[in-house]
């Protein structure tokens, strides 16, 4: 069963054209804004824009004509390049994930984008095939998985077995589904309302507004608007409320579009995550590449008893959040987290009874948080009264945050598992396997040493770098126990 040399779907020309067009947006805007502002938007500007469009279209066509992919001699091979021909050979045994996604353009043509990633990881996929049919993507995926299984089982041959019956049996085992998680629209609404995405929306609106300075007379608008607002504090309050409310509604919509149809499927040795309403994404995470499990509660979800579960994996970059983690379960009740972890990642067990931080740590947390808050709020209150007096609210807020960071800190050993609990703003519980920990560090500052505490920090391999998790002000005795546990043979 071979996968012969093929081109992408012809619709790839459109996909690649759109991709080239995105790179031209900034130059086009530059020409439009400054050309219009300087009254020099002439035939040369129009010619430049038309030339750019034709060049993008021609590039898309040539990239489609010159791109080939196939499987040969135990390798996934690609050939590409318009002027300089490049070839890339990837041994199948190094492939860690085969993911698909479908944006608006792909869905119009009923095709998908295929991404293949290796153990090395990175910010971008090792192989990206912009347009293939779903059937071809599934065929290629099945061949790669079947061949990889043969290699893992030390098969004598490195060529794809032509015995289709044997391959089909391998594929059938690979595709067997053991557990499924599917988010409901009600839970998705809760995810959207508690996501905290309002800050992203407001920053996006601000960034867009600064780019429209050429067209909107902000100075005159703000002057007239300020005169209007001076008439009533109620109007100011209503205006602020409306801005925040609309931003909140937009953030809910963005979250629901991004995570709509969120489904997690557990197969024999991998987890497949699919999500998205407008752009459909599917990513595969081999269980052997999971480095840690992280359970997080933000300030809105914790009082409601909900949590989000992330998986930290190596060799995969698609489908990750801004912190290079992958959401495994967007929303679970706290009492159900252990059950779902047992079903999908049984090697990782969540412990509730962790070893707490010593009482002296509370004093240290209060000093680190409250003292800077007193200094900052005092300066603001002194130099910009009366508005600076509002900064005094930072003091109790810092005190509350310090207490919760102390209360939520802790650690736990359970066989070959280490669990670290900590809070920055959100509450986090990280479960790490001993053999997945790249380094374990124990350090003591001068002040920590005087109070018999220190900082425990573990590092794991992430998608293209290392990720660190630490608990501050752990007792020296406890830190020694964890260090001794890690020092033993993994």
Residue range 48-90, pLDDT digits in tens:
788 888 998 999 999 999 999 999 888 899 999 988 899 999 9
pLDDT value at position 280? 86
pLDDT band at 446 (very low <50, low <70, confident <90, very high): very high
Better pLDDT: 313 or 197 = 313
179-195 core/surface letters (b: 16 or more CB in 10 A; e: else): eebebeeebbebbbbbb
pLDDT, greater one: 222 or 291: 291
Is residue 108 pLDDT above 60, yes or no? yes
Q: Could you say which of 89, 116, 150 is where a domain stops?
A: 150
Assigned domain for 408 exists: no
Based on the structure, what is the number of domains in the chain?
A: 2
Boundary-marking domain end, from 150, 181, 210: 150
In a domain, 14, yes or no: yes
Local confidence band at 406 (pLDDT 50, 70, 90 cut-offs):
very high
The answer to whether residue 168 sits within a structural domain is: no
pTM (global) more than 0.85: no
Specify the range with the lowest mean pLDDT, choosing from 317-326, 420-429, 471-480.
Answer: 317-326
Q: Is residue 156 part of a domain?
A: no
Please report which confidence band the pLDDT of residue 462 belongs to, taking 50, 70 and 90 as the band edges. Answer: confident
Is 139 part of a structural domain of the chain? Answer: yes
Q: Is 487 within a domain?
A: no
490 has a pLDDT exceeding 60: no
- Res 239 pLDDT > 50: yes
**CA angle, corner 366, sides to 364 and 371, nearest 5?**
105
Mean pLDDT of 215-225: 58
Q: pLDDT at residue 211 above 60?
A: no
Cα 54 to Cα 20, 32, 33, 106, 235, distances in angstroms: 11, 18, 22, 22, 51
Domain assignment present for 187:
no
Question: Mean pLDDT, to the nearest integer, of 136-150?
Answer: 84
175 pLDDT tier (thresholds 50, 70, 90): low
> Measured between alpha carbons, how far is 138 from 265 in angstroms, rounded to an integer?
16
Binning pLDDT at 50, 70 and 90, where does residue 162 land?
Answer: very low
| 161: its two tokens | 């077995």
- pLDDT at 174 exceeding the cut of 60: no
Percentage of the chain modeled with pLDDT above 70: 79
Sorting pLDDT into bands at 50, 70 and 90, what band is 181? very high
351-372 per-position pLDDT tens digit = 989 999 999 999 999 999 999 9
Domain containing 379: what range? Answer: 359-403
Residue 430 pLDDT grade (very low, low, confident, very high; cuts 50, 70, 90): very high
- Residue 444 CB partners (closer than 8 Å, separation 6+): 453, 454, 455, 476
How large is the average pLDDT for residues 176-198? 86
Between the ranges 44-58, 151-165, 286-300, where is the mean pLDDT highest?
A: 286-300
Mean pLDDT of the chain: 83
Tell me whether residue 461 is in a domain: no
User: Tokens 């126990």 label which residue?
Assistant: 481
370 or 388, greater pLDDT: 370
Lowest mean per-residue pLDDT among 41-50, 149-158, 238-247, 477-486: 149-158
Task: Give the separation between CA 309 and CA 295, rounded to whole angstroms.
Answer: 5
Q: In the numeric block, which tokens belong to residue 179?
A: 């557990």
Q: Does the pLDDT value for residue 8 go beyond 90? A: yes
- Residues sharing a CB contact under 8 Å with residue 350, sequence separation 6 or more, in sequence order: 293, 295, 337, 338, 341, 419, 429, 431
pLDDT at residue 141 is higher than 50: yes
Last residue of a domain, one of 150, 174, 205: 150
Give the strand pairing for 326-333 and 127-133.
unpaired
pLDDT at 291 (0 to 100)? 93
> At residue 332, what are phi and psi to the nearest 5 degrees?
-140, 150
């Amino acid at each position: 069963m071979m996968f012969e040399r093929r081109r992408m779907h012809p619709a790839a020309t459109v996909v690649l054209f759109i991709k080239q067009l995105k790179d031209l947006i900034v130059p086009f805007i530059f020409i439009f804004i400054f050309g219009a502002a300087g009254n020099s938007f002439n035939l040369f500007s129009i010619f430049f824009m038309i030339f750019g469009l034709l060049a993008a279209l021609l590039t898309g066509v040539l990239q489609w004509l010159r791109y080939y992919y196939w499987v040969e001699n135990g390798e996934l091979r690609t050939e590409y390049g318009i002027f300089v021909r490049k070839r890339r050979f990837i041994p199948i045994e190094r492939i860690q994930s085969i993911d698909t996604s479908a944006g608006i353009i792909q869905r119009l043509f009923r095709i998908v984008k295929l991404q293949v990633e290796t153990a090395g990881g990175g910010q971008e996929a090792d192989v990206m095939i912009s347009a293939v049919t779903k059937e071809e993507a599934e065929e290629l995926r099945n061949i790669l998985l079947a061949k990889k299984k043969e290699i893992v089982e030390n098969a004598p041959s490195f060529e794809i077995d032509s015995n289709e019956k044997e391959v089909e049996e391998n594929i059938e085992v690979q595709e067997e589904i053991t557990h499924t998680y599917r988010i409901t629209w009600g839970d998705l609404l809760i995810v959207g309302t508690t996501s905290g995405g309002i800050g992203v929306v407001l920053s996006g609106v601000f960034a867009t507004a600064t780019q429209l300075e050429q067209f909107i007379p902000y100075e005159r608008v703000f002057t007239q608007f300020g005169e209007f607002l001076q008439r009533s504090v109620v109007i100011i309050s209503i205006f602020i409320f409306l801005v925040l409310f609309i931003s909140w509604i937009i953030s809910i919509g963005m979250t629901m579009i991004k995570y709509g149809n969120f489904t997690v499927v557990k197969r024999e040795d991998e987890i497949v995550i699919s999500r998205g309403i407008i752009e459909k994404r599917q990513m595969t995470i081999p269980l052997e590449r999971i480095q840690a499990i992280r359970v997080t509660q933000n300030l809105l979800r914790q009082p409601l008893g909900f949590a989000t579960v992330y998986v930290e994996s190596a060799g995969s970059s698609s489908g990750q959040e801004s912190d290079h983690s992958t959401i495994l379960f967007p929303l679970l009740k706290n009492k159900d987290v252990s059950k779902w972890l047992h079903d999908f990642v049984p090697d990782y067990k969540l412990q509730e009874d962790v070893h707490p931080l010593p009482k002296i740590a509370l004093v240290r947390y209060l000093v680190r948080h409250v003292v800077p808050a007193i200094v900052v709020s005092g300066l603001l209150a002194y130099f910009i009264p009366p508005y600076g007096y509002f900064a005094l609210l930072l003091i109790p807020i810092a005190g509350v945050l310090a207490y919760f960071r102390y209360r939520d800190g802790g650690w736990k050993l359970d066989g070959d598992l280490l669990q670290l609990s900590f809070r920055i703003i959100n509450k986090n519980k990280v479960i790490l396997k001993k053999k997945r920990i790249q380094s374990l560090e124990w350090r003591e500052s001068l002040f920590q040493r005087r109070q018999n505490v220190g900082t425990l920090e573990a590092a794991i391999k992430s998608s293209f770098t290392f990720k660190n998790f630490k608990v501050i002000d752990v007792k020296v005795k406890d830190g020694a126990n964890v260090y001794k546990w890690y020092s033993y043979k993994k």
